[in-house]
Structure 1
Amino acid sequence: MTTTSVPGFAETLIAPGPTPEYPGRMRRFGQLVGSWAAKGSRLDESTGDWHEREFTWIVEFVLDGRAVQDVEVVDVPVSDTHPDGRETVAMAVRVYDPHAGAWRVSYFAPAIGEYCHLVATPHRNGLRQDGTGTDGRPIRWNFVSITADAYSWEGWVSNDEGATWVLVEHNEATRIR
């Protein structure tokens, strides 16, 4: 193989669709593949204030269709660092684990110091992701409503090892691709 025939990173990472090995399981997060215009609000736990935000959420099959990866992109002022006026602020990789019958989720938002690991399972008409936040507290991230053209997502945290939960983030999104 010559260097001119070596595929690029994106071409190697992004898959055209789900693996045929377990198509039903891949639909759980695979139904979110595409691009989404999202509006959300986050709770500042120190002040109790909610802060609004808008972002684009882009989701693709990766790793030969055995995983789903997403990136969260926000508009920023054009600069040398961001010549296109966009910044990728977070990403998650969701890999189906056939041995556990669940999805393993890793989320990274380095600019705000968030690194979370969760396990996702079906829940009611959506998906529940349970894990631990960077600060060690239990977290629960739920897709509470998913349709072909929209979803709602809630982020919860527990200060008492899961006895009670506090809503700290809510997002609503519509499909743009």
Structure 2
Amino acid sequence: MTTAAESPFAEALIAAGPTSEYPGRMARFGQFVGSWDVTGTILDEESGVWSERHFTWIVAFVLDGRAVQDVEVVASDTHPSGFETVATALRVYDQLAGAWRVSFFAPTTGEYCHLVATPYRRGMRQDGTRTDGKAIRWNFTEISAERYAWEGWVSSDDGSTWLLCERNEGVRIS
């Protein structure tokens, strides 16, 4: 029996590295390829209460190195693998637009977001909408080879004002 990592699907999806067509552009999200130990806080927008969360973020080149995909996994005593995959994002560089197209899927929470990512200061800004139609802004900041910070913002008034609703800090594992 072949494992999932050895399957023809995984072999066709996962790439060894970035495409040679535009390696500089691929470095923008390619710098995150590997595994990260992440601690974060998330705001319950209804109650105003912040809670802490912990997960592992695994990032790889996919689609012949033309995209970067990540999965968010949490420890699970009930899952045979010992972890549960709770979300994934696919980031594809659109060479015609000169920007990254981002799609995020979290079936456990029912959140499906589509964003466009562009360089911002010394990081990256991803602007889009979440499932309820509210504007979102996800910023990667404080990026180094070993650490990063990420902030999630939401707007209820089409971007006139923004509410910080999530913050994650990652430390590279591999």
Sequence identity of aligned pairs in percent? Answer: 69
Look up the SS of the partner of 1:146 in the other structure. Answer: coil
Q: Paired residue for 2:106? A: 109
1:157 matched to 2:154? The reply is yes
Instruction: Quote the residue 2:142 is aligned against.
Output: 145
Cα RMSD for the two superposed structures: 1.1
Q: Which residue is 1:175 aligned to? A: 172
Instruction: Give the TM-score, by structure 2 length.
Output: 0.95
Match of 1:14 in 2: 14
Distance 1:104 1:131 in 2: 10
Instruction: Quote how far apart the aligned CAs of 1:144 are.
Output: 1.2
Structure-1 separation of matches of 2:44 and 2:151: 15
Question: So what's the TM-score if we normalise by structure 1?
Answer: 0.94
Q: Residue 54 of structure 1 corresponds to which residue in structure 2?
A: 54
2: CA distance, partners of 1:76 / 1:135: 29
SS of match in other structure, 1:9: helix
Structure 1: 5+ residue runs without aligned partners? 1-6
Moved over 3 A (4+): none
Q: Which runs of 5+ in 2 are unaligned?
A: 1-6
Structure 1 CA distance for aligned equivalents of residues 84 and 122 of structure 2: 32
SS at match of 1:104: strand
> Which structure's CA Rg is the greater one?
1
1:126 Cα deviation from its structure 2 partner = 0.5
Q: Deviations over 1:58-96 (max 9, x none)?
A: 00000000000000000122x3xx112200000000000
Aligned AA (2:80): P
Partners of 1:150 and 1:25 lie apart in 2 by 20
**How many residues align structurally?**
169
Aligned to 1:4: none
Aligned to 2:41: 41
The one-letter amino acid paired with 1:63 is L
